Copies of this chain bind each other. A is one copy, B any other.
Amino acid sequence: MIEINEIRSIPEPTLRRLPLYLYFLKNLANHGILEVSTTKIANEFKQDPTQIRKDLGYLGTLGKPKVGYEVPVLIEAIETFLNWNNTTEAFIVGAGNLGMAMIGYEQFSKYGIKIIAAFDNDSEKIGIHIKDVPVLSISKLTDLIKRMHVHVGIITVPAESAQSAADLLIEGGIKAIWNFAPVNLKVPEDIIIEDAQFATSLAVLSRKLMEINNINLEKV
């Protein structure tokens, strides 16, 4: 039974901070700390308390005057908000190095996602199991999405195969794609795309490193 929550539009930067708040709060709970003030959270994240109050305000009215927040209540609220206390099943396309690592990554269960099958076109991989997850032929992908009502597809194929993987996922009826290939996927407007390309991170890292090296050289 799915409850209909109120839909609140939340700014993406806030959404991206919630998992970090959650980890911090769980750490507090593990140390037996059951109450936390906005100021303490603000100090931990080097943010303004106003920002923290605003971010957590999206979860509902949870703060108490003077006390701040009850840690277990806040943990529960973030997990519910992110739907991490339910499990969403996902298919992964591409059982190469990255795909295999993701299948083996036990932390995903904490984040409400479970990879239930992998798909590849390499005949040597088809039929094997990686930690109980079967690797199936890519030819079965579309049909299985339909039959199993899977909503999330993860793309870990090389760049040149990424668009065709996305097309198959969408043909099957997937609603959200988590894309690791360094490609600008073309998808219908109602498909959720979350890009998590290593290339993007490395562009930022590499350029910033170059800039500080240049600054240091100029100081010489």
Quick check: B84 and A217 within 8 Å, CB to CB? no
Distance in Å from the Cβ of A4 to the closest Cβ of chain B? Answer: 5
Within 8 A of B (CB), among A167-212: 175-176, 178, 182-184, 190, 192, 194, 196-212
Quick check: B214 and A88 within 8 Å, CB to CB? no
Interface residue? A69 (CB, 8 A):
no
Knowing A2-B213, A159-B23, A214-B7, the reply to whether A203 touches B82 (Cβ < 8 A) is: yes
Interface residue? A51 (CB, 8 A):
no
CB-CB < 8 A to A199: which residues of B?
Answer: 19-20, 23, 107, 110-111
CB-CB < 8 A to A24: which residues of B?
Answer: 184
| A44 to B194 alpha-carbon distance, docked (Å) | 18
CB-CB < 8 A to A108: which residues of B?
Answer: 198, 202
Knowing A176-B205, A214-B4, the reply to whether A200 touches B88 (Cβ < 8 A) is: no
Quick check: B203 and A15 within 8 Å, CB to CB? yes
Quick check: B101 and A206 within 8 Å, CB to CB? no
| A197 to B151 alpha-carbon distance, docked (Å) | 21
Identical copies in the complex: 2
Quick check: A178 and B192 within 8 Å, CB to CB? no
Distance in Å from the Cβ of A99 to the closest Cβ of chain B? Answer: 8
Quick check: B98 and A184 within 8 Å, CB to CB? no
CB-CB < 8 A to A206: which residues of B?
Answer: 82-84, 88, 111-113
Within 8 A of B (CB), among A20-34: 20, 23-24
Distance in Å from the Cβ of A83 to the closest Cβ of chain B? Answer: 4
Interface residue? A215 (CB, 8 A):
yes
Interface residue? A218 (CB, 8 A):
yes
Within 8 A of B (CB), among A146-162: 151-152, 158-159
Quick check: B178 and A201 within 8 Å, CB to CB? yes
Interface residue? A18 (CB, 8 A):
yes
| A101 to B97 alpha-carbon distance, docked (Å) | 5
Closest 9 CB pairs of A and B: A101-B101, A19-B199, A97-B104, A111-B202, A194-B205, A83-B210, A97-B101, A196-B201, A192-B208
